[in-house]
Structure 1
Amino acid sequence: MRHGRGSLDRHHGRGKCRDAGPEGHADRRRRAPALIQALGGGQSLAPAPFDEPEPVPLMPRLLPLFALVLSLLWAAGLAQAHAVLQSADPADRSVLEAAPARATLGFNEPVAPLAIRLIAPDGSETDLTAAVPGGQVLSLPLPPLGQGTHLLSWRVASDDGHPVAGALVFSVGAESGVAPMSSGNRAVQAAVWAARWAMTAGLVLGIGGAVFAAFTGAPAQRPVAAALQTGLLAAPLYLGLHGLDALGLALPDLLTGAPWAAGWGTSFGPSVALAMLAAALALMALRLPRGALAASLAALALLGIAYAISGHAGAAAPRALTRGLVFAHLAAAVLWIGALAPLALSLRGGTAPLARFSAALPYPVAVLALSGAGLTAVQLGADPAQWPSAYGAILAGKLALLGLILALAVQNRRLTAPVLAGDAPARERLRRGIHAELVLAVLLLALTAGWRFTPPPRALAMAAPAAAPAYAHLHSDTLMADLTLTPGRAGPVTAELFITDGTGQPVDPFAVTLALSLPDRGIERISRTATAIPGTPGLWRVEGLVLPVPGRWSLTLDLRRTRFTLVKLGAEIVIN
């Protein structure tokens, strides 16, 4: 939110003592213009009293802090992405002549096993978790296996802290029925989402409010302290619920020690510890007569590190870049969103905090936009076929909410100058506008908490196996065609056609048109003209073809032998 800069007349007392109490707050207010000058690179909104030394810009002091933060983020780990299963032996849906003695699961990065179970055809289970050390390849000793279909269910913790789960089915001798594997507990997942929302909202509003109070001297202890206490209570609860979800347990199991140990064993353990330390430091800053600004900025840095060392975004490659972007994105959001509640409260008194906030805000907003664009580019990845996902839906909702917030911010900016000029009705409208901005921001945090359950498209692209081509044979009494779609999965594909006559001799028609449709999904004909491949009789190609969803597609091939003779061939082809 960018509020306009207005004139501000402010009286500075002389010879004030810089101790606790009203004098301490007055001293903090006297130092605030120097902060705005340092952040904005321009002139302070109010002159410093002549008996104080020239203010020292804060940005040179902060640069070593940010350099230290980035170096810590660089050294925090070596994993390159969200864990993805890349190989399995036995292969999924394979039928083996003899029972294997071991099974192996290969991932793109080291993982920690959380729960690994083998389910026999009769529904009996064998827990293999304790027998498997962590690593990039998990080697699982199997008990003696009988005939029939077995299910190997696995759940591991990736380096970004999130649980990754899956199952593979294999059969010994012949296929048979197998007991179904239970899906994730919806009640647990709802509790995980709510706890993460409460933790993030409390920490963002609380630490951002503490920084705002230190910058401006605005009295905001009660709402800021309440937000920080909410974050402090929700953080350990989130850690336990995260462990509960990682192990696939039910809510009553939260009273046991296993989920807490599992949660602490992931990267979310240190992350939650740092977040709680940041909240405690911000609470202390609210009560400090001196050093509140330094303490609140340190809390902000700790919170940025906490969120950068865990989660999908911080685990993406290149690690130094993505963790730095997460740190910058979160810090900018804290400075903006966290200031809204105390800013609205401060309008009941003077307008000095509004003027200072208005002058400083463009900098975190710019950082927020640039870092958000960088993270979006990394997380979406290079395969557009993976973008329409649950992650993409949350991203679209976030951008829509952000657009509404920015529209409110523009309206609030127009009210700033009248408020600074003493317009009472404009002040009340501005307060209501800031409250609306705050509500939308909290809803935005609720929406982004859902990313906890949605691997980004870049991870989905890694998980997607190299799809084998899809084939179809079309024929009539006089012509035949063999169609190959590469790859044989939804997304961009290339079609190749080999056309022959009834004797198998290559034929080059006057024109070839390929059309595909998926009536079950309401997708009408997608028609493309094929191009003959020079030097290879009978071979035609269609490029730039996109099949958006999997399914059993109907295809039609129009072969125009002459200008007046048309042969139509039809068939179906399965796209994964």
Structure 2
Amino acid sequence: MWPIARAWAALPMQAAVLLVLLLSALVPAYAYAHAVLLNSSPANNQIVNEAPAEIQLHFNEPVKIVRASARLANDKSVDLESSGRGADISLRLPSLARGTVIASYRVVSEDGHPVGGAVVFHVGAASAAPAGPSETPSVVLGAVIWFVHVASILLVAHVVGGRLFSALFNPSDVRAKRPLTMISVGSVLLASGLYLQGLDEIGVGFTFAGATPLSTAIGGNVAVANGLFLITLILAILPPFRTRSLTVSTAVIAMTIASAAFTFTGHSALATPPWLAKTCIFFHGGILLFWIGSLPPLWRLSRHPSRQMSLKAFSAAIPAPFVAMLVAGLTLAALELPDLGSILDSIYGRVLVVKIGLVALLCFLAAYNRFWLTAPAIQGDVAARGRLRTSISAEIVLAVAIVGTASLWRFAGPDQFQYAPLHPVSIHIHTDRAMAEFELKPKSHDAASVHVTILASDFAPMHPKAVTLRLWNPAAGVEPIKYELAESKDGGWETEDVPFRAPDGWKVDVQVLIDDFTTAHLEADLDEGVEAADSNDAGADPEFPKAEASSTAYER
């Protein structure tokens, strides 16, 4: 049997690198972490002529609204009623006076993580900004959430992973140790995790809030995952059955359910393609639980010379699943990282670097155990058994560190930015009198720079006396906003810090003063530049997406 197992293990080890490269080439270049607000109506920092009756929020994924409120120009705060489902949420506004309004919201994304944000707009004109909502995350609550999550995963690994190890490799020791203690501690941890999730969703910090946090979190994915983990604990503490096959089957079922629980939470579960992401999470999480749960019984077995055959069997069988765990983890990293050059630009990437370092140490210890210590220990070398126990103890420490590091991804969401990144937009506007290359580049989440190159209709250079830009959004009730462009060093015309969020519905009019008596108006829809950007994302990759605009020109 074991020669077959060794042969089976050899194939994944040889193919692992090739498989990772192939999967990395097939996956998309970017995946959002948690929910991100794509755009809103009114847009952020928008000036509207008439007070809107509601605010429309459009997210990149379905969300559940937890609460919403508005701080009005008179510094009065009111709660807002919400409606809608999926990725589109509407917030009903009260009657608004002239001035600045800050509408704040808190939603829960598909991966179970709460996300808060605010939209600022102005009725008629901006006024002295009212005090904005406080969305500073609770450090204490975050630390407690992290600790409870790490403790829960380690307990499930110890109980469920240890049961599967004993059922497969050490059937004489399959009975659970202190089952009532294990199920009691597990129940407290999982229930506490659900309550903490509810506290995070409603945004009240680390405090006792009655039954509200539980009622808020009970319908989410975290509740599903914790419920599945509780089922696995119950299955894993059952007394062994009369037949070994039934005992092994129960342990495998428990491990399968625990693996499935990981697919309900975490932003990796929302990466595309979903089938690949969830498959990798299933195997990566399940094998991780099995490996961590195997370490304590391995440490105990290494102390007894009479039980070295179990150690030999495990050593022969573990390479294949261990390599599968690494391949699944690397594939998930490829799904979530846009490129290696940006790995340190996000919390996710920095946490990943630390985790990779810890896993590298783990691989070194695993290879040391497998190729240098296991064989002498099986042959009765007392010193080798002592070194093997020390090495396994180091693996246990690394296991705790890896789980603790990976649990930091719970906080690697879009707290660094509220909105999805705006792509550069470029439109070619061509008329009989003149033409323009209009380029809009994002500078921040609420501002952009504009650069316009003016040419004659026959592509000859043109030197206009002045260029003025008008932007307006008739669908959103935004009147034209005028910007006087300054001549740039390259012969174009530009302006900075245009308060601009999403190009949807916006129109542009480039007014070119050709001479003292002639002005050409070049009009276009910015939506056309957005469609061109989407087209380029799917195929070609110029520096800026180009869209031929259907334009209007008239003379003064």
TM range (shorter): 0.5 to 0.7
Question: CA 1:190/1:467 → structure 2, altered by over 3 Å: closer, same or farther?
Answer: farther
Are residue 453 (structure 1) and residue 406 (structure 2) matched? no
Residue 273 (structure 2) aligned to one of 308, 318, 323? 318
The answer to whether the Cα contact below 8 Å between 1:156 and 1:163 also exists between their aligned partners in 2 is yes
Q: What is the CA-CA distance between 1:136 and the residue it aligns to?
A: 2.2
Alignment of 1:220-259 (within 5 A): 225=179, 230-254=185-209, 256-259=210-213
- The letter for the 2-side match of 1:162 is H
The answer to whether the Cα contact below 8 Å between 2:163 and 2:176 also exists between their aligned partners in 1 is no
Are residue 368 (structure 1) and residue 325 (structure 2) matched? yes
Structure 1: distance between partners of 2:33 and 2:137: 23
Question: Partner of 1:283 in structure 2?
Answer: 237
- Give the stretch that moved more between structures: 339-348 or 89-98: 89-98
Question: Partner of 1:351 in structure 2?
Answer: 308
Are residue 192 (structure 1) and residue 145 (structure 2) matched? yes
Structure 2: distance between partners of 1:272 and 1:161: 12
- Give the stretch that moved more between structures: 346-355 or 380-389: 380-389
Q: Deviations over 1:150-192 (max 9, x none)?
A: 2111111222222222111112232212113211222212111
Q: Deviations over 1:28-73 (max 9, x none)?
A: xxxxxx6x67755679xxxxxxxxxxxxxxxxxxxxxxxxxxxxxx
Question: Partner of 1:94 in structure 2?
Answer: 46
Question: CA 1:228/1:213 → structure 2, altered by over 3 Å: closer, same or farther?
Answer: farther
Q: Deviations over 1:182-220 (max 9, x none)?
A: 112222121111111111111122211111111122637
- The letter for the 2-side match of 1:247 is I
| Structure 1 length-normalised TM | 0.66
The answer to whether the Cα contact below 8 Å between 2:138 and 2:205 also exists between their aligned partners in 1 is yes
Residue 377 (structure 1) aligned to one of 330, 334, 352? 334
- Give the stretch that moved more between structures: 279-288 or 234-243: 279-288
Question: CA 1:252/1:376 → structure 2, altered by over 3 Å: closer, same or farther?
Answer: same
Residue 355 (structure 2) aligned to one of 398, 401, 413? 398
- The letter for the 2-side match of 1:115 is R
Alignment of 1:20-99 (within 5 A): 40=6, 82-99=34-51
The answer to whether the Cα contact below 8 Å between 1:152 and 1:167 also exists between their aligned partners in 2 is yes
Structure 2: distance between partners of 1:204 and 1:185: 29
Are residue 427 (structure 1) and residue 372 (structure 2) matched? no
The answer to whether the Cα contact below 8 Å between 2:69 and 2:77 also exists between their aligned partners in 1 is yes
Q: What is the CA-CA distance between 1:221 and the residue it aligns to?
A: 5.1
Q: Secondary structure at the match of 2:62?
A: strand
Q: What is the CA-CA distance between 1:506 and the residue it aligns to?
A: 6.6
Q: What is the CA-CA distance between 1:405 and the residue it aligns to?
A: 1.2
Question: CA 1:423/1:231 → structure 2, altered by over 3 Å: closer, same or farther?
Answer: same
Question: CA 1:105/1:498 → structure 2, altered by over 3 Å: closer, same or farther?
Answer: closer
Structure 1: distance between partners of 2:221 and 2:116: 17
Are residue 166 (structure 1) and residue 117 (structure 2) matched? yes
- The letter for the 2-side match of 1:327 is F
Structure 2: distance between partners of 1:293 and 1:207: 12
Structure 2: distance between partners of 1:109 and 1:146: 33
Question: Partner of 1:205 in structure 2?
Answer: 158
Q: Deviations over 1:66-87 (max 9, x none)?
A: xxxxxxxxxxxxx998432112
The answer to whether the Cα contact below 8 Å between 1:467 and 1:489 also exists between their aligned partners in 2 is no
Q: What is the CA-CA distance between 1:456 and the residue it aligns to?
A: 8.2
Structure 2: distance between partners of 1:38 and 1:257: 55
Question: CA 1:143/1:333 → structure 2, altered by over 3 Å: closer, same or farther?
Answer: same
- Give the stretch that moved more between structures: 92-101 or 395-404: 92-101
Residue 116 (structure 1) aligned to one of 63, 68, 92? 68
The answer to whether the Cα contact below 8 Å between 1:205 and 1:227 also exists between their aligned partners in 2 is no
Are residue 175 (structure 1) and residue 127 (structure 2) matched? yes
Question: CA 1:280/1:269 → structure 2, altered by over 3 Å: closer, same or farther?
Answer: same
Q: What is the CA-CA distance between 1:381 and the residue it aligns to?
A: 3.4
Q: What is the CA-CA distance between 1:484 and the residue it aligns to?
A: 7.6
Question: CA 1:439/1:224 → structure 2, altered by over 3 Å: closer, same or farther?
Answer: farther
Question: CA 1:81/1:463 → structure 2, altered by over 3 Å: closer, same or farther?
Answer: same
- The letter for the 1-side match of 2:143 is A
Q: Secondary structure at the match of 1:110?
A: coil
Question: Partner of 2:487 in structure 1?
Answer: none
Residue 152 (structure 1) aligned to one of 103, 122, 128? 103
Q: What is the CA-CA distance between 1:486 and the residue it aligns to?
A: 4.9
Residue 402 (structure 2) aligned to one of 421, 427, 444? 444
Q: What is the CA-CA distance between 1:277 and the residue it aligns to?
A: 0.5
Q: What is the CA-CA distance between 1:497 and the residue it aligns to?
A: 11
Structure 1: distance between partners of 2:187 and 2:395: 24
Structure 2: distance between partners of 1:307 and 1:483: 47
Are residue 339 (structure 1) and residue 290 (structure 2) matched? no
| Structure 2 length-normalised TM | 0.68
The answer to whether the Cα contact below 8 Å between 1:94 and 1:171 also exists between their aligned partners in 2 is yes
Question: Partner of 2:524 in structure 1?
Answer: none
Alignment of 1:457-468 (within 5 A): 463-467=420-424
Residue 270 (structure 1) aligned to one of 195, 205, 224? 224
Question: CA 1:166/1:391 → structure 2, altered by over 3 Å: closer, same or farther?
Answer: same
Task: Give aligned-pair identity as a percent.
Answer: 31
The answer to whether the Cα contact below 8 Å between 1:198 and 1:231 also exists between their aligned partners in 2 is no
Structure 2: distance between partners of 1:372 and 1:277: 25
Structure 1: distance between partners of 2:4 and 2:178: 25
Question: Partner of 1:24 in structure 2?
Answer: none
Q: Secondary structure at the match of 2:60?
A: strand
Structure 1: distance between partners of 2:186 and 2:195: 15
Structure 2: distance between partners of 1:326 and 1:387: 23
The answer to whether the Cα contact below 8 Å between 2:176 and 2:238 also exists between their aligned partners in 1 is no
Structure 1: distance between partners of 2:378 and 2:53: 78
Q: What is the CA-CA distance between 1:406 and the residue it aligns to?
A: 1.4
Structure 2: distance between partners of 1:324 and 1:461: 30
Alignment of 1:516-527 (within 5 A): none
Q: Deviations over 1:403-452 (max 9, x none)?
A: 11112222222111110110112111110110111111111101111111
The answer to whether the Cα contact below 8 Å between 2:422 and 2:442 also exists between their aligned partners in 1 is no
Structure 2: distance between partners of 1:258 and 1:366: 44
Question: CA 1:461/1:354 → structure 2, altered by over 3 Å: closer, same or farther?
Answer: farther
Question: CA 1:329/1:451 → structure 2, altered by over 3 Å: closer, same or farther?
Answer: same
Question: Partner of 1:57 in structure 2?
Answer: none
- Give the stretch that moved more between structures: 302-311 or 379-388: 379-388
- The letter for the 2-side match of 1:207 is V
Question: CA 1:249/1:460 → structure 2, altered by over 3 Å: closer, same or farther?
Answer: closer
